[in-house]
Amino acid sequence: MIYLDNAATTYPKPLQVIKSMDLAMRKYNANPGRGGYKMSIDTSEEVFKCREKISKLFNASNPENVVFTLNCTSSLNIVLKGILNKGDHVVVSCLEHNAVMRPLQSLTQMGIDYSVAKVYPKDNDATLDSFRKSLNERTKLIVCMHVSNVWGIRLPIERISAMARQYNIRVVVDAAQSAGIFNIDLKDSNIDYLCLAGHKGLYGPMGTGIIIIKNANDIRPIIEGGTGSNSISMEQPNIMPDKFESGTLNITGIIGLGAAIDFINSKGINNIARHEYNLVSRLYEALSNMDHIELYMPKPDLNYFAPLISFNVKKLDSENVARFLSNNGIAVRAGLHCAPSAHKFCGTLDRGAVRVCPSVFTKYSEIEFLISLLKNKRLHNL
């Protein structure tokens, strides 16, 4: 199988990730931060090492600001529901994933409302202006993805967060689709809450979400329980990361994620992005010469786009095209990608789109094979 659904989950995983998880199950299998015996302490240390690696990768001020969750969706829910109160207003981009839109929609029942800022691909001035115009005197939060999981559009989060600082508005960035591809520097930006998925561009296992919280004072936890700290108190402890890490974490997954970060550091994330960019550039060029292919975005350019391409074959439903490719050994994802807002943006809400996303492991020959299949006459007869 040629796997081109890396925007959902990267595959294959680096061998060192798989091996580190096997080792974790055999050697680091005690509850960290609970027992005082060697395996518990060793496990705590392994988890802390992963916190340090993440902290360093995103230039966070402190490894203790790195919180582990189940997934990026949990991270976003924890932030949104931990900060917002009745009467607050939120600004989101018009491309957000259901991981943002569904919690936000449910928060409207609590008297929270939101505005949607339009995004202008390749025109960051216009995008920024659109965010600014969406603010009002009640705006507490801007929630913005770094990269659209459907169209690859890269949003100017550094400029948006700098603008937010002027108005004392906090910023949540959903970097599920960009981490491991683009650099994010927390010390150099005004991002208050960075939400991440471990299993995509960071090459870790599924079930590893992250929040990096700049200031934990004004955010309530939504999950409370045993933390191994200050156990005598019925109040959730205020210390980080315990405040947001109740119960037993996915230790095996976290240790795997630590190995994955070593892997991407050894490759260099700029090199990874460049490799994937070269692949999608070739694909874009080929697709733009096929009359039956509909492309929605301009030619890729890492300043404005992450290396992924979504398209349609004229008159065909995207699911049919994905099935044809799957029958020929290529895994891609069609449909709405849990992001109806993004599909509304390009008018593809009715039939979705076919998304192709390479990884560091994708070969040129695999893209060439995809191109040859998309030229195939049989495709026209579906």
Judged by CB under 8 A, the chain residues 222 through 241 that form the site for its own copies are: 222-228, 231-236
Q: What contacts 370, CB < 8 A, 6 or more positions away?
A: 2, 4, 283, 325, 330, 356
177 binds its own copies, rule: CB under 8 A: no
Taking the CA atoms of 129, 131, 133 and 136 in sequence, report the sign of the dihedral they define: negative
Q: Is there a contact between 208 and 67 (Cβ–Cβ < 8 Å)?
A: no
Q: How far is the CB of 170 from its own copies (least distance, A)?
A: 20
> Of the two residues 98 and 183, which places its CB atom closer to its own copies in the complex?
98
| Residue 137 phi, psi (nearest 5) | -70, -15
β-sheet bridge partners, residue 174: 145, 195
| Residue 50 phi, psi (nearest 5) | -65, -40
β-sheet bridge partners, residue 369: none
Site string for its own copies, 254-293 (x = CB under 8 A): --x-------------------------------------
Q: Which span (112-120, 123-131, 245-253, 284-292) binds its own copies, by CB under 8 A? A: 245-253
> Of the two residues 156 and 221, which places its CB atom closer to its own copies in the complex?
221
Q: How far is the CB of 217 from its own copies (least distance, A)?
A: 17
Beta strand extents in 70-123 (DSSP E only): 89-93, 113-117
16 binds its own copies, rule: CB under 8 A: no
How many CA atoms does the CB half-sphere of 93 hold within 13 Å? 32
Round to the nearest angstrom and report the end-to-end CA distance of the chain.
22
> Of the two residues 17 and 287, which places its CB atom closer to its own copies in the complex?
17
Nearest partner of 335 among 129, 323, 293, judged by Cα:
323
Which secondary structure element, helix H or strand E, spans residue 152, and what is its range?
Answer: none
Q: What contacts 156, CB < 8 A, 6 or more positions away?
A: 124, 127, 128
Which residues in the 189-218 window bind its own copies by CB under 8 A?
197, 199, 205-209
Q: How far is the CB of 306 from its own copies (least distance, A)?
A: 18
Query: How many CB atoms neighbour CB 99 within 10 A?
Result: 24
> Of the two residues 72 and 280, which places its CB atom closer to its own copies in the complex?
72
> Of the two residues 144 and 330, which places its CB atom closer to its own copies in the complex?
330
Q: How far is the CB of 381 from its own copies (least distance, A)?
A: 20
Whole-Å CA distances, 297 to 165, 202, 273, 308, 374: 31, 25, 18, 11, 18
Query: How is residue 356 written in tokens?
Result: 């192709």
Q: Which span (120-128, 177-185, 250-258, 261-269) binds its own copies, by CB under 8 A? A: 250-258
Which residues in the 291-320 window bind its own copies by CB under 8 A?
319
Which residues in the 55-114 window bind its own copies by CB under 8 A?
69-74, 76-77, 81, 97-103, 105-106
Q: Is there a contact between 199 and 9 (Cβ–Cβ < 8 Å)?
A: yes
Q: Which span (8-16, 111-119, 140-148, 356-364) binds its own copies, by CB under 8 A? A: 8-16
Q: Which span (36-44, 178-186, 259-267, 272-280) binds its own copies, by CB under 8 A? A: 36-44
Query: How is residue 214 written in tokens?
Result: 């700049």
> Of the two residues 156 and 180, which places its CB atom closer to its own copies in the complex?
180
Q: How far is the CB of 105 from its own copies (least distance, A)?
A: 4
Which residues in the 37-66 window bind its own copies by CB under 8 A?
37-40
Q: Which span (23-31, 120-128, 285-293, 359-367) binds its own copies, by CB under 8 A? A: 23-31
Chosen residue from 326, 364, 378, 382 binding its own copies by CB under 8 A: 326
Whole-Å CA distances, 303 to 155, 156, 194, 212, 342: 10, 10, 20, 24, 20
In a 10 Å sphere around its CB, with 0-12 CB exposed, 13-18 middle and 19+ buried, how is residue 45 labelled?
exposed
Q: How far is the CB of 106 from its own copies (least distance, A)?
A: 6
Chosen residue from 332, 354, 356, 357 binding its own copies by CB under 8 A: 332
Q: What contacts 192, CB < 8 A, 6 or more positions away?
A: 170, 171, 172, 213, 214, 215
Count of residues that bind its own copies according to CB under 8 A: 88
Q: How far is the CB of 129 from its own copies (least distance, A)?
A: 26
Q: How far is the CB of 215 from its own copies (least distance, A)?
A: 20
